[in-house]
Amino acid sequence: MKTVIIAAGLGSRLWPTTDQTPKTLLPFGDGTMLSQIIDNFGAAGVREFVVVVGFRGERIAEYVRTDLGSRYQVELVENAEWRRGNGISVCAARPAVGDGPFLLSMSDHLVSPVDLGAMVQAASPANLLLVDRRTDAVVDLDDATKVRMEGARIVEIGKELPEFNAIDCGVFRLDRRFFEAMERQARLGKESISEGARELIRQSAFDGVAMPVDGAWLDVDTPDAYRFALAHAARFV
């Protein structure tokens, strides 16, 4: 199963837009955030990756070729419309993954290998989202994408949900149904991954996979979150 990593966006909340370094190439551990994300998937058994680039894409492409290409099979896909919603970056990867199931990760979410293994091994035929039910332990809960679940089924998703019982961890297992849903939403001007997920919810085709109790994840979206990740690096490897 391939993993798609979307690394096309600007990331201005974390890093000044005038800097030449994409935020996924910021130092982390013995490498960068991108190398740690890929190594974590590698520890869960994934060997093939599709990295979607846009902003400073040439920097990411060079890093992949020189630092990651000898250890993994990595295909680079350019999203020339990277200023649009992140769902457009996922759709750009469709020729590289086909209609079969694939994993999807944000390029700024650190997720431990035990969590990723749970996604790889999940038996459900639905499209899947890794969720954290420990809502009181989430770093920066106000900014997190909330999820309301009934059993394993996801029934609502969004940052402003008034009632929720889980948090979106930024890792999905998807198939052609997501592409079809996302393309329909994009034609309506709704371009975020969450909009594609909402259509899957309407089709009753979107389930949650609860992260294991010994798992850990972090959305590295702000300077404070990046400092937290550096200070607690061992939790995310």
Q: Where are the domains of the chain?
A: 3-236
* Domain covering 3-236 in this structure, CATH number: 3.90.550.10
d(CA 186, CA 41): 29
- pLDDT tier for residue 103 given thresholds of 50, 70 and 90: very high
Per-residue pLDDT tens for 114-139? 999 999 999 999 999 999 999 988 88
d(CA 53, CA 79): 6
d(CA 215, CA 195): 27
Per-residue pLDDT tens for 158-214? 999 999 999 999 999 999 999 999 999 999 999 999 999 999 999 999 999 999 988
Give me Rg for the CA atoms of the chain.
16
